[in-house]
Amino acid sequence: MTGVVVVTVVLFSLLIGGADYALGYAVKPIYVQNTNNSTTSSPAQPASTATPSASATPSASPSASASS
């Protein structure tokens, strides 16, 4: 019984390892293409920062009841 378990573990490890290698090999051109595109394009420029400004004029006029 132990031999069956060992053979099963070895077979599944070969199956999973082979599938991992094959999928990695199939997907590799996508990542190589993306890294080539990102190095040839110009780097992103930082966004310009807005300077805060305060206005001296009030945005609302005082009401008559507030002055009483």
Per-residue pLDDT, averaged over 3-7, amounts to 96
Residue 14 lies in a domain: yes
pTM of the entire predicted model? 0.44
The whole domain housing 13 covers: 1-38
Domain annotation covers residue 67: no
In a domain, 13, yes or no: yes
Looking at the structure of the chain, the number of domains it has is: 1
Q: b/e per residue, 15-49, with b = 16+ CB within 10 A?
A: eeeeeeeeeeeeeeeeeeeeeeeeeeeeeeeeeee
Q: Quick check: is 59 in a domain?
A: no
- State how far the Cα of 28 lies from the Cα of 33, in Å rounded to an integer: 9
Does residue 17 lie within any of the structural domains? Answer: yes
In a domain, 6, yes or no: yes
How far apart CA 12 and CA 6 sit, in angstroms, is: 10
pLDDT (tens digit, 9 = 90+) per residue, 10-67? 999 999 999 999 999 999 888 887 766 655 555 566 666 777 777 766 666 666 665 5
- Between the alpha carbon of residue 33 and those of residues 30, 36, 37, 39, 44, the distances in Å are 5, 5, 6, 10, 19
